Amino acid sequence: MESPSNQLAQHFTYALNEPSSTYTYLLADSESAEAVIIDPVLETVERDLMLVNQLGLTLKMAVNTHCHADHITGSGQLKRRVTGLQSAISRLSGASADLLLSEGDTIPFGRHVLTVRETPGHTDGCVTLVLGDQSLAFTGDTLLIRGCGRTDFQQGCAKRLYDSVHKKIFTLPDQCLVYPAHDYKGQTVSTVGEERRFNPRLTKNLEEFIDIMNNLNLQKPAKIDVAVPANLVCGLHEV
C-alpha cells in the first residue's frame, strides 16, 4: 500500500519564475488527475498550462499563500483559461477570491488534501498549506530556506512571524519537507528539522529575531505598486 505522498509524487512538480525567484507548485492526485496549483505567477501561466495539459490534469484550484507584493498572481489569468478553476486566498488577506481560506480549512484534490494553517507575520493573511499526511508544507513567504519573509510592510510584524513559525511550522514532524514561495540562491527544498536547527534567524530568541528583522534594510519590491492592487483581486484586475 503506497503512502498518500508516494501516490502524489508522480505529479508533484515546481518551477521557478526568474525575475521574482518565485516557486510555483503543481500538485496532483495520480489516480484522479485532479490538481491544485500554488502561487502561480502571471508571466508563467502559459508554461504552467502546458504542463497541466501534457500531464492530462484537471486543474481545480489556484491557491495564493498570501497577497504577494513582488509579482502579480497567475490565478486570474488561469481562471480565464481553465473552465471551473477556482481561486483561493486567506480571508485575512483582505483580497477577493472564489474561496476565502481560514485556519483548518481543507483543499481536497483526488485522494489528497491540503490543510490551511494561518501563519501571519510577513503579511496578515499569510498561510502555510500542509499535505494531509504532514509530509510536505508550502510555507509561502513565512518560512524561507535559512530565512523568512520580511516584515517591514503589508501589516508585517516580526513577533507574529516568529510565533507563526514556532507554533504552526516548527510543530510539524522533523522530516516534513518545506517548500517556500521564494529562494534567492537557487535552493529548492528544506525540512522542518533542518530549519529548526539551522535557520539563522529563527534559531534566535524573539528579541534577537526582532532586531535582525528591523535591520534587514531591503529595498522595496520593484513591482509592489502594481502587484498589490492586482493581487487584492487575485489577478482579475483590468488590463
Ligand X SMILES: N[C@@H](CCC(=O)N[C@@H](CSS)C(=O)NCC(=O)O)C(=O)O
Interface residues toward ligand X, by CB under 6 A: 20, 69-70, 141, 147, 149-150, 182, 216, 218, 221-223
Nearer Cβ to ligand X (9/189): 189
Q: Nearest distance from residue 211's CB to ligand X, in Å?
A: 14
Q: Nearest distance from residue 40's CB to ligand X, in Å?
A: 15
Q: Nearest distance from residue 119's CB to ligand X, in Å?
A: 13
Per the CB < 8 A criterion, the answer to whether 219 and 52 are in contact is no
Nearer Cβ to ligand X (86/164): 164
Nearer Cβ to ligand X (110/125): 125
Nearest to 154 by CA among 128, 122, 181: 122
Rg, C-alpha atoms of the chain = 17
Nearer Cβ to ligand X (29/183): 183
Which cell is 197 given?
Answer: 536547527
Query: Which helix (H) or strand (E) is 192 found in, with range?
Result: helix 192-198
How far the first Cα of the chain sits from its last, in Å, is: 49
Q: Which residue has the cell 528544506?
A: 190
Nearer Cβ to ligand X (222/226): 222
Q: Nearest distance from residue 148's CB to ligand X, in Å?
A: 7
Nearer Cβ to ligand X (74/110): 74
d(CA 65, CA 162): 17
DSSP state, 8? H
3-state percent helix, strand, coil for the chain, nearest multiple of 5: 25, 25, 45
Nearer Cβ to ligand X (48/70): 70
Q: Nearest distance from residue 181's CB to ligand X, in Å?
A: 7
Q: Nearest distance from residue 127's CB to ligand X, in Å?
A: 15
The CA-atom distances, in angstroms, between 108 and each of 46, 146, 163, 198, 211 are 24, 30, 27, 33, 40
Nearest to 85 by CA among 135, 43, 48: 48
Q: Nearest distance from residue 67's CB to ligand X, in Å?
A: 10
